[in-house]
Structure 1
């Protein structure tokens, strides 16, 4: 078994389980386990047992004072115990009776900084007088080999817990606000809509996409998206009745529901839902079914970042959007790049055939604006036309001289 372990390596997902089985069988023990240390608690992360009904189960936890881990780490018990009956302290520990434990070997799993994060252990219900220092050294070798993976998992869990706490604080304190960027009719210079963009006020500073990515990783993505969307929709009362609002939503939030309850009190035709996911969607049928009741309310669908990758094109082909937003990488330097103009022309033809409309994102120069107008792109947004701003400032900007200058007025 030891030979197989070293031959197979330690990089597979089953590395820890394989190591436990290998060392348990090599030492002729009944149970091998890895536990992580959380304050005064030992949590059994992985267990390999000869008896499937062994009382130690993955996910179970126990006070450090009620098992051997804490006592070994504090030097009250040795790492190698061939016969626990010879230790008065060991015999007084509840774990000795419940496991039961007649022999035990346990070595710490320590990070590079010296922090002890867990224990790598073997036990037998019967005394094992033949256990010796060499066996302890083998245990330490195994602990070192799988320790990096265990430590990585522990650190990742800690990072997720920390992120979750940050996201929960953001939600509890409503530490975010919405800014609005105009979407402009390129033939008239009139703002036909505004895209709502989220800005976070909580520390540490992170870009909005990082906040949302961390929220989804922590299982709070849908809650955060819906909270921000609720804030954004408050702008509708201040927008002219013929101007729409565009909000962002990931496929997972759309599929999981909740959006319909937020928008049931507004005019759906004034809302455009932008699909923000840049990864492939595993089941478009499920997503389409989730979008159906929203579309019945009049909500229109936009696909973001067209031309930026395969995922956005798959969204376009599978979801029949009402609007296709050209990625800023396609808009950038379109006045001097024939390939960008050709791809934009192709997407314009596609939009006409599918009765959708095109919005060019990231317009920053007058040359880009002029080229897009000549190509026939109907709508656009970007810093040249208006930067994201608080709603009152955004409305003043679109009503003032800023757009007039952009269109030669």
Structure 2
């Protein structure tokens, strides 16, 4: 396994699929989330966990980011008003080399800084909020946007949401599952909608897979959504 992850990172034996994020009111994508894929591991989580074990998570993250941004850029796959959502671990965002990497990739690709949305991955505990806030400020100074992924899944996600004031919050797919049947989930989502209406943050509801749940979300006032019902992850043609 260790040899496998090292080879994957060194030789970049991975590619990306892209899943649309939709404006539900007009049924049009506002952009795409990039998702790492490889034939060497059973699932992406195993790839990143293995990279952590060999202390090469930063290398994997930046190589994946670079490759996904170049893929979109080379295929001219985004309209000027569309966004690319890319996942990043908090420790990598806080790394001193990350700002330099982002500056370099922005110079080399055709995307504008405002088209790149860095999604903070909730699979990792944020140990130093002040450092994270400073690094986020640097990204924003470059013109990039910020999202918090899987809000409601991690224990610290609400604090992170308040402290970082992201451009997007992406509610975990748990809240979409049987949404039409759960008045409790509906009530909680409404509270997030109210929060977003009072701030600059936009809400994205993830995991939409059933028509009745999608219709419930639309009736509640959810504007942005993502899920297999709207579009499955697939390569850029």
Q: Of 227, 231, 246, which residue of structure 1 is paired with 2:63?
A: 227
Where 1:172 maps in the other structure, the secondary structure is helix
CA deviation string 1:162-199 (max 9, x = no partner)? 52x22220022221000000000000001110000000
Instruction: Work out whether 1:363 is the aligned partner of 2:208.
Output: yes
Residues in 2 aligned to 1:355 and 1:389: alpha-carbon distance in whole angstroms: 30
What corresponds to 2:123 in structure 1?
A: 278
CA deviation string 1:362-383 (max 9, x = no partner)? 1001111101111111100100
CA deviation string 1:57-87 (max 9, x = no partner)? xxxxxxxxxxxxxxxxxxxxxxxxxxxxxxx
Q: Of 150, 157, 160, which residue of structure 2 is paired with 1:315?
A: 160
Where 2:198 maps in the other structure, the secondary structure is helix
Where 1:274 maps in the other structure, the secondary structure is strand
Task: Please state how far the C-alpha of 1:261 moved relative to its aligned partner.
Answer: 3.3
Provide the TM-score with structure 2 as the length reference.
Answer: 0.92
Structure 2 alignment gaps of length 5 or more: none
What is the aligned length? 228
- Which structure has the larger Rg? 1
Q: Of 175, 178, 188, which residue of structure 1 is paired with 2:26?
A: 188
Q: Of 205, 230, 236, which residue of structure 2 is paired with 1:385?
A: 230
Residues in 1 aligned to 2:52 and 2:160: alpha-carbon distance in whole angstroms: 20
Over the aligned positions, Cα root-mean-square deviation in angstroms equals 1.3
What corresponds to 1:263 in structure 2?
A: 105
Change (3 A) 1:178 1:262: farther
Task: Please state how far the C-alpha of 1:277 moved relative to its aligned partner.
Answer: 2.9
Residues in 1 aligned to 2:91 and 2:46: alpha-carbon distance in whole angstroms: 17
Q: Return the structure number with greater relative CO, CA threshold 8 A, min gap 6.
A: 2
What corresponds to 1:209 in structure 2?
A: 45
Residues in 2 aligned to 1:250 and 1:176: alpha-carbon distance in whole angstroms: 18
Where 1:288 maps in the other structure, the secondary structure is helix
What corresponds to 1:241 in structure 2?
A: 80
What corresponds to 1:172 in structure 2?
A: 10
Contact persistence 2:171–2:204 (CA under 8 A): yes
Task: Please state how far the C-alpha of 1:336 moved relative to its aligned partner.
Answer: 0.6
What corresponds to 2:146 in structure 1?
A: 301
Task: Please state how far the C-alpha of 1:262 moved relative to its aligned partner.
Answer: 4.1
Contact persistence 1:260–1:293 (CA under 8 A): no
CA deviation string 1:258-296 (max 9, x = no partner)? 242343324110010000133431111101111112111
Task: Please state how far the C-alpha of 1:200 moved relative to its aligned partner.
Answer: 1.3
Residues in 1 aligned to 2:124 and 2:13: alpha-carbon distance in whole angstroms: 27
Q: Which runs of 4+ in 1 moved over 4 A?
A: none
